[in-house]
Chain A
């Protein structure tokens, strides 16, 4: 017997609440809704996004600062803040360098700035800001509740694990130095990290709401997150099943099929999730934007129908998926990367491109940089000819990097030297280097055939590219490394004939605005997106269920926004996801 459902708001009553889950399950909507309703009851609530590609500003319908918490427009007890690693790192650099302007020569300041622009600084300064919010006693006194809307699971687990990783490193290291400086200079940070860890583990103060959808992949992801959280000592967990669908038109075969898919997924729900206090939110016709819509959601699951005279004709310039693959195939080799918001279908589309290229007789490697990707599920556990499958698993890469270093430069050291090196390799920030090196090695595979990369959700993919650029500059400053795959990484990514970025989105508000920003960020990094895919379109299907009709109509303007982005624009029907 399943346990009775709670209301989503009563599930999230702890002083500190994290909303986490796979990309695209509706974390931001559910977190914002919970924060708004809690604040409506007169509580002072702070909502914080830890996603580098945060959407809380769009969903709350209010500007949100990345330096300090501000009141949300139209509310007098709800505050919001974005933790933006880039902004946090910039502030951190200024704290370090500022006092020495005019005292140290400019070239010395420049070299400090360069060193403090790496992935390591990005990660640690964002984590420090996160730990400060959690552990600052003033914050705790001022706010009745802090709600965290987090990045997709893989990266959130890393964020939460950093508290114990750094605390453990501080406790075990004998050299007294770390990438962030000497331990003496880090007294304050050490204190914050330890306090953050304590709060995270305190069941009376912290709860984690796992958000999932009635789909196998989202549930597998929630199950994995749940287990890893327990390993970190975070046991106060809850489950929100978002987007449960009960069609009203039994003659709509697509609606019936979607419901049947959901029922199967819910029947197969892992036991560890079934035993959690849980709640359900019905599927809505369009995603709520702004305070009023969040308050009404999910009592109005159908949403506001578009005017009925809007014909849902898709934009006319769409290419077929086959044409797109044909164009990719004609290059004979190279890197194809699918990018976009979590949950838009990057993995599914990357897999389809890889299999189609394989079918055209190419040598193909399918890889993922997403710690939470499920390539095996997409491939259905089958062997596909000579398809090579790779994944960058940070924990495996770190171990490989550590042993590689110990076996190369560490080989000639005496025992003391080896102990010292081992200790330094245990610093949590070696993960950045290890992942970067694995990524560079992967990209070099595009020289011999096709490498199709399914990337992590936007924010972290951009951070990976940022880190790559900064490692590249560092390598250039030293006159290059002796490793071709490292030195050629950035030139390869910037070569439009070699690297082809396929931006994937759903025809919905947040995925489209995130994709548009992503395209701008890529252009700033001298990478021109190659094609756009609007995935999961109801516009291509013949539906009659009222909710699906609402979806179909609300898609139109987003499809038009995508269609003007590129001459290579492809639409895929909703079915590609439910059949996969």
Chain B
């Protein structure tokens, strides 16, 4: 029982590039993929998954404090954001996954 629980990913951390708001509606034109992803994130958290979302402009501390992210930024540059970490592993780089991919990573049905 404990083992099974351990196997299912439980936490996702999203490290966004510098942006005004997480849906992009504050930018020059609304970005459909950002809006969709904001909705997917909200859905994921409704499924009981712990979600943390950090924007480089608002929470630079979080980027500095996570060695995995610090390393990506130092080696590949800021263009690799967003980076998405599932538990302790980098899962997506420079892309926002579809809801189905998120569901799969957490063993959920989308």
**Measuring CB to CB, which residues of chain A are less than 8 angstroms from any residue of chain B?**
96-97, 99-100, 103-105, 107-108, 110-112, 114-116, 118, 120, 177-182, 185, 405, 408-410, 412-414, 416-418, 420-421, 424-425, 427, 429-430, 432-433, 436-437, 471-472, 474-475, 478, 481-483, 486
A112 and B29 contact, CB distance less than 8 A:
no
Residues of chain B within 8 A (CB-CB) of A99 are 60
Residues 54-102 of B at the A interface (beta carbon under 8 Å): 55-60, 63-64, 73-74, 77-79
Contact (Cβ within 8 A) B25 A413: no
Contacts of B60 in A (CB 8 A): 96-97, 99-100, 104, 108, 112
A421–B63 touching, CB < 8 Å: no
Contact of B43 among A416, A418, A437 (CB under 8 A): A416
Q: Specify which chain A residues have a CB less than 8 angstroms from the CB of B27 in the assembled complex.
A: 433, 471, 474-475
Question: What are some 20 contacts across the A-B interface (CB < 8 A)?
Answer: A100-B64, A104-B60, A104-B63, A104-B73, A107-B78, A108-B60, A110-B78, A115-B56, A116-B18, A177-B22, A180-B58, A405-B30, A405-B35, A408-B32, A413-B39, A416-B39, A429-B20, A429-B21, A478-B31, A483-B29
A108-B56, A115-B20 are known contacts. Are A409 and B30 too (CB-CB below 8 A)? Answer: yes
Q: Are A115 and B18 in contact (CB under 8 A)?
A: yes
B46 in contact with A179 (CB, 8 Å):
no
A420-B23, A429-B20 known; A471-B28 Cβ under 8 A: yes
Q: In the assembly, what is the distance between CA of A120 and CA of B27, in Å?
A: 10
B28 touches A111 (CB 8 A): no
- Given the known interface contacts A104-B63, A424-B25, A432-B26, the answer about A96 and B43 at a Cβ–Cβ threshold of 8 Å is no
Q: Is the pair A409, B18 in contact by a Cβ cutoff of 8 Å?
A: no
Contact across chains for A420 and B39 when beta carbons are under 8 A apart: yes
Residue contact B26 to A430, C-beta cutoff 8 Å: yes
Query: Closest CB-CB distance, B19 to chain A, in whole Å?
Result: 6
Q: Name A409's contact: one of B35, B55, B73 (CB within 8 Å).
A: B35
Question: Which bracket fits the contact residues of B?
Answer: 35 or more
Residues A111 and B43 in contact, CB atoms below 8 Å apart: no
Q: Are B38 and A433 in contact (CB under 8 A)?
A: no
Residues of the A chain whose Cβ atoms lie less than 8 Å from the Cβ of B63: 104, 108
Q: Which of A185, A416, A433 contacts B58 (CB 8 A)?
A: A185
Closest to A119 in B: B26
**Inter-chain contacts of B42 with A (CB < 8 A):** 416-417, 420
Question: Complex Cα distance A114/B42, Å?
Answer: 27
In the complex the two chains form, is A111's CB within 8 Å of B22's CB? no
* Contact A115–B57 (Cβ < 8 Å): yes
User: Is there contact, CB below 8 Å, between B39 and A417?
Assistant: yes
Residue of A nearest to B32 (CB): A409
Question: Chain B residues with Cβ under 8 A from A437's Cβ?
Answer: 28-29
Interface residues of B (CB under 8 A from A): 17-23, 25-32, 35-36, 38-40, 42-43, 46, 53, 55-60, 63-64, 73-74, 77-79
B31 → chain A, closest Cβ, in Å? 8
Not counting A410-B35, A424-B22, a sample of 4 additional A-B residue pairs whose C-beta atoms are within 8 angstroms of each other reads: A105-B74, A429-B26, A430-B25, A474-B27
Nearest Cβ distance between residue B93 and chain A, in whole angstroms?
Answer: 15
Q: How far is the CB of A400 from chain B (nearest CB, A)?
A: 13
- A472 / chain B contacts, CB cutoff of 8 Å: 28
Q: Is the CB of A111 within 8 A of B18?
A: yes
- Taking a contact as CB atoms under 8 Å apart, the answer to whether A421 and B20 are in contact is no
Bound CA–CA A103/B65 (angstroms) = 11
Of B21, B78, B79, the contact of A179 (CB 8 Å cutoff): B21
Nearest Cβ in chain B — how far from A111, in angstroms?
Answer: 4
Q: Which 3 A-B pairs have the closest CB atoms?
A: A417-B39, A181-B58, A115-B18
Q: Shortest Cβ distance from A382 into chain B, in angstroms?
A: 38
Which of A112, A414, A433 meets B28, CB within 8 Å? A433
B73 touches A108 (CB 8 A): yes
Contacts of B28 in A (CB 8 A): 433, 436-437, 471-472, 474-475, 481, 486
Q: Are B20 and A405 in contact (CB under 8 A)?
A: no
User: Within the complex, which residue of A96, A177, A475 is in contact with B29, where a contact is CB–CB below 8 Å?
Assistant: A475
In the complex, chain A residues whose CB is within 8 Å of the CB of B21: 177-179, 424, 427, 429
Assess whether A107 is in contact with B77, with CB atoms less than 8 Å apart: yes
B71 to chain A: closest CB distance in Å? 11
- Residue of B17, B18, B26, B64 with most chain A CB atoms under a 10 A cut-off: B26
Q: Are A420 and B56 in contact (CB under 8 A)?
A: no
Write out the residue numbers on chain A whose beta carbons fall within 8 Å of the beta carbon of B77.
105, 107-108
Closest B residue to A178 by beta carbon equals B21
